[in-house]
Amino acid sequence: MVQTLPEPAPLKPGVLRIIPLGGIGEIGRNMTVFEIDGKLLVVDCGVLFPEEHQPGVDVILPDFGYIRDRLHDVVGIVLTHGHEDHIGGVPYLLRLKNDIPLLGSALTLAFVEAKLKEHRITPYTMVVAEGQREKLAGFNLEFVAVNHSIPDALAVVIRTQAGSVLHTGDFKMDQIPLDGRLTDLRAFARIGEEGLDLFMCDSTNADVPGFTPLEKDIGPVIENVISRSQGKVIVASFSSHVHRVQQVIDAAYANGRKVALVGRSMVRNMEIATQMGYLNVPAGALIDLKNADSIPEDQIVYMSTGSQGEPMAVLSRMAHLEHNIEIAEGDTVILASSLIPGNENAVFRVIDLLTKLGANVVHKGNAKVHVSGHAAAGELLYCYNILKPRNVMPVHGEYRHLIANGKLAEQTGVPAERVLITEDGWVVDLENGVANVVGAVECGLLYVDGKTVGKITEDDLKDRRVLAEEGFISVFCVVDERGRVQVGPEIRARAFAEEDHVFDDVKPLISKALAEAAGEGVTDTYALQQVIRRTIGTWVNKAHRRRPMIIPVVVRG
């Protein structure tokens, strides 16, 4: 469903406006702006990792355009948990104004502060915990414990004079969590009894029936795989998945193996988790990577990043024999994470390469080595029945997830017209307990490429795709004052056809086209370059069915 919405009318006093700038219709770059009486509150600011059709891009940010000129009105940024798709964009936002307060749990802020240190930003932070309440301008905030695949995750209730909103962040309802920290359904019930005007709910697993399996069931499977492994073991996971790292350390320790952390973000995050007491490391269980060579291969486990097949991540470099850790026959690789939509091809390529090297690759498809951190349909139904929200706005998920979540809400009695399926940039106003879509603001993708932010456009990416898929042809000519060819055309190609004779047929056509243009009085070098581009482009398309990038250069003799 593609809709073109008008710009929203100016916000009326006492009305709460909600603008998702990322995370709707996609899994990543989560960011939502809440506005009332001239003040703004931001919930999450994450990144999205690029897909194959976005070559050269490091990460993708939410579109800050809506708030760029109003940063002085932002009273705070609430961070629900420490995953990259919720905190990875914070450094880029604070580059624009570095004193915006950050609110989050202790572990979340520790991860963010370490990230900001690399960007040489010292933030203003406020540690909050479940049950705590804070007031920021017209926003009365209450934080609620939720269970997720990272410790210390929080949902947030936002109460305003326009009504109340519960934003879950990412959550599930594991009833026997590894850290004993349950999603606080008693708080959900109290919020529901008070009357909840808008429920913004994690949609990632809304199309998965039943309940998400227990996290505790993963540990024995990992231990069993490690106990049967003859060579070295490499486990790949997200660098912030503290629970999974704990399970790997426990399994390795039980089998007399040492664990070496691999990857800068993995080392950094686990050091923080250990110092703060979220990761329990038995004495002697960890070994520095630089000393791992001294350990027999059947006594070592490498805990690395790269479970999504990212080209520059550790596991992919191992698969391409570009890392010091070499995969060999008899080694075991465990991919202890789920597949983020869009990463499937990259992950399967890495699995194939590892298998070709002789490794036994264990992943979610052939063993229970990962469970999701997101609530499945059965858990969401419980939430709807407990909360009885007046309005629902599914968030965090691709379009099919949003639709599935909305249908669950309807099944529990929420009227269809009160279920808002939105897109990034759509504007929702909450007034007198009723939420409505009232327009849309411009909201695109903000690309980070090296040190540049937002300068890469869709046209640039199209050019990169053409270069990668179709090749490159340059044409050089020297013409006289009348536009007649004196030297050339000289043609060079890359990733198209290396033999110069391939272009022998088109050179006369170029010379003829230039002569005809000169005969018509065309002498401007730019116009002559366009003649060359059209001529060789037409020929290449007909003769080779290709559409390469063509760079003509015309110089006056």
**What is the pLDDT at residue 58?**
64
Same domain assignment for residues 275 and 416:
no
Q: How far is CA 478 from the centre of its chain?
A: 49
Same domain assignment for residues 331 and 219:
yes
Region 445-473: what's the mean pLDDT? 63
11-61 residue pLDDT tens: 999 999 999 999 999 988 999 999 999 999 999 999 987 655 555 566 788
Number of C-alpha atoms within 13 angstroms, CB side, residue 440?
A: 13
Residues of the chain with pLDDT > 70, as a percent, come to 90
Residue type, 340: I
Integer Cα distance of 169 and 162 in angstroms? 21
Residues 286 and 271 sit within 8 Å (Cβ to Cβ): no
Integer Cα distance of 391 and 316 in angstroms? 44
114-154 residue pLDDT tens: 999 988 999 999 999 999 999 999 999 999 999 999 999 99
Does residue 11 belong to any structural domain of this protein? Answer: no
Residues 255 and 226 sit within 8 Å (Cβ to Cβ): yes
Reduced to 3 states (helix: H, G, I; strand: E, B; else coil), residue 404 is helix
Alpha helices, DSSP H, located in 11-105: 65-68, 84-87, 90-94
Integer Cα distance of 98 and 77 in angstroms? 12
Same domain assignment for residues 192 and 66:
yes
**What is the pLDDT at residue 195?**
96
Confidence of residue 99 (pLDDT cuts 50, 70, 90): very high
Integer Cα distance of 532 and 514 in angstroms? 7
- Which of 109-113, 304-308, 320-324, 331-335 has the largest mean confidence? 109-113
Region 477-499: what's the mean pLDDT? 72
Does residue 236 belong to any structural domain of this protein? Answer: yes
Cα→Cα distances 203→25, 142, 212, 398, Å: 10, 22, 13, 8
Same domain assignment for residues 189 and 294:
no
Same domain assignment for residues 193 and 57:
yes
Does residue 336 belong to any structural domain of this protein? Answer: yes
Same domain assignment for residues 206 and 220:
no
Same domain assignment for residues 387 and 484:
no
Angle between helices 185-194 and 377-387 (to 10 degrees): 40
Of 313, 332, 362, the residue at which a domain comes to its end is 362
Of 362, 382, 412, the residue at which a domain comes to its end is 362
Residues 208 and 242 sit within 8 Å (Cβ to Cβ): no
Region 272-289: what's the mean pLDDT? 93
Does residue 478 belong to any structural domain of this protein? Answer: yes
498-548 residue pLDDT tens: 566 677 777 888 888 887 887 777 777 788 888 888 888 888 777 777 777
**What is the pLDDT at residue 444?**
84
Same domain assignment for residues 200 and 320:
no
Q: In 10 A of CB 456, how many CB atoms?
A: 21
Q: How far is CA 164 from the centre of its chain?
A: 28
Does residue 481 belong to any structural domain of this protein? Answer: yes
**What is the pLDDT at residue 483?**
64
Residues 204 and 168 sit within 8 Å (Cβ to Cβ): no
Residues 11 and 433 sit within 8 Å (Cβ to Cβ): no
Domain containing residue 219: CATH number: 3.40.50.10710
Residues 425 and 19 sit within 8 Å (Cβ to Cβ): yes
**What is the pLDDT at residue 1?**
45
Number of C-alpha atoms within 13 angstroms, CB side, residue 158?
A: 30
**How many independent structural domains does the chain possess?**
3
Confidence of residue 409 (pLDDT cuts 50, 70, 90): very high
Does residue 45 belong to any structural domain of this protein? Answer: yes
Check residue 54 and report its DSSP letter.
S
Integer Cα distance of 204 and 408 in angstroms? 13
The range of the structural domain enclosing residue 120 comes to 16-210+373-458
Domain containing residue 42: CATH number: 3.60.15.10
**What is the chain's mean pLDDT, rounded?**
87
Q: Report the Cα–Cα distance between both ends of the chain, in Å, rounded.
A: 56
Q: Which residue has the higher pLDDT, 23 or 475?
A: 23
Does residue 92 belong to any structural domain of this protein? Answer: yes
Q: What 3 state SS string does 278-327 have?
A: CCCCCCCCECCHHHHHHCCHHHEEEEECCCCCCCCCHHHHHHCCCCCCCC
Region 92-120: what's the mean pLDDT? 95
Same domain assignment for residues 185 and 57:
yes
Write out the DSSP string of 444-485: --EEEETTEES---HHHHHHHHHHHHT-EEEEEEEE-TTS-E
What pairing do the DSSP bridges indicate for beta strands 300-304 and 233-236?
A: parallel
Angle between helices 507-519 and 525-544 (to 10 degrees): 140
Same domain assignment for residues 527 and 381:
no
**What is the pLDDT at residue 551?**
81
Domain containing residue 488: CATH number: 3.10.20.580
Same domain assignment for residues 338 and 205:
no
Q: How far is CA 267 from the centre of its chain?
A: 21
375-408 residue pLDDT tens: 999 999 999 999 999 999 999 999 999 999 999 9
Same domain assignment for residues 201 and 234:
no
Of 343, 362, 381, the residue at which a domain comes to its end is 362
**What is the pLDDT at residue 413?**
96
Does residue 1 belong to any structural domain of this protein? Answer: no
327-383 residue pLDDT tens: 889 899 988 877 666 667 778 888 888 899 888 888 877 778 788 899 999 999 999
